[in-house]
Structure 1
Amino acid sequence: MDTRLSPRERDQLHSLIREKLDTGGAEGPAEIRDTTMVRELPGVDSMMLLRLLGAVELGFEVNLGFQAIPQVETVQDIERLICESRAARRERVLTAGGRP
């Protein structure tokens, strides 16, 4: 299973995080990296994390579910969850006799 997004999708994810969490400050937008601790970003609390994951679901057309919340520590964790959701969807389609 591929656990990495394409560079374009990774940029999309980082932009989405900056947008939803409003990480800009007086010094400009915060840099988002794979190792960025999501819960340490300015203004992040449990409700904000839930909103972010909802936006990720819509933006990447995946289903992360509530079980994703405790799994998210870093931005890379969100990327992994996106890839896992896509792989699970492909498996369901193939099992049902369809094409991914």
Structure 2
Amino acid sequence: MNTHLPPQERERLYSLIREKLDLSDAECPEGIKDTTMVTELPGVDSMKLLRLLGAVELGFLVNLGFEAILRVQTVQDVERLICESREQYASRP
């Protein structure tokens, strides 16, 4: 199973995270990386995380499910969930 997005989609994910969590470059000077802990980003709370995951579902045309909020710790977790959802629905007849 592929758990990584192509570079262009990964950048789109990072941009979506910055937008939905209202992050400026000053708040996240080192930038967003795979290992970035989403829950430790400035100003993140459960509602912002829920809105982010909803935006990811719409932006990447995937269904992450309600349990996704419990499974997301890092940016790489979000990426993995996107890939898992795509693979799950691609394997359906």
Q: If the length of structure 1 is used for normalisation, what is the TM-score?
A: 0.87
Give the distance between the partners of 1:34 and 1:45, measured in 2 at CA.
Answer: 20
Report what 1:80 is aligned to: 80
> Can you give the 5+ residue segments of structure 2 that lack an aligned partner in the other structure?
none
Report what 1:21 is aligned to: 21
Aligned partner of residue 24 in structure 1, secondary structure: coil
Moved over 3 A (4+): none
Report what 1:3 is aligned to: 3
Give the distance between the partners of 2:37 and 2:12, measured in 1 at CA.
Answer: 18
Give the distance between the partners of 1:6 and 1:41, measured in 2 at CA.
Answer: 24
Bigger relative contact order, structure 1 or 2, given CA contacts below 8 A and separation 6+? 2
Root mean square deviation of aligned Cα: 1.3
Paired AA for residue 18 in structure 1: R
Q: How many matched pairs?
A: 92
Give the distance between the partners of 2:81 and 2:28, measured in 1 at CA.
Answer: 25
**1:3 Cα offset (Å):** 0.5
Task: Please identify the structure whose Cα radius of gyration is greater.
Answer: 1
Q: Contact 2:27–2:42 at 8 Å: present in 1 too?
A: no
**1:89 Cα offset (Å):** 0.3
Give the distance between the partners of 1:28 and 1:71, measured in 2 at CA.
Answer: 24
**1:28 Cα offset (Å):** 6.1
Report what 1:39 is aligned to: 39
> Can you give the 5+ residue segments of structure 1 that lack an aligned partner in the other structure?
none
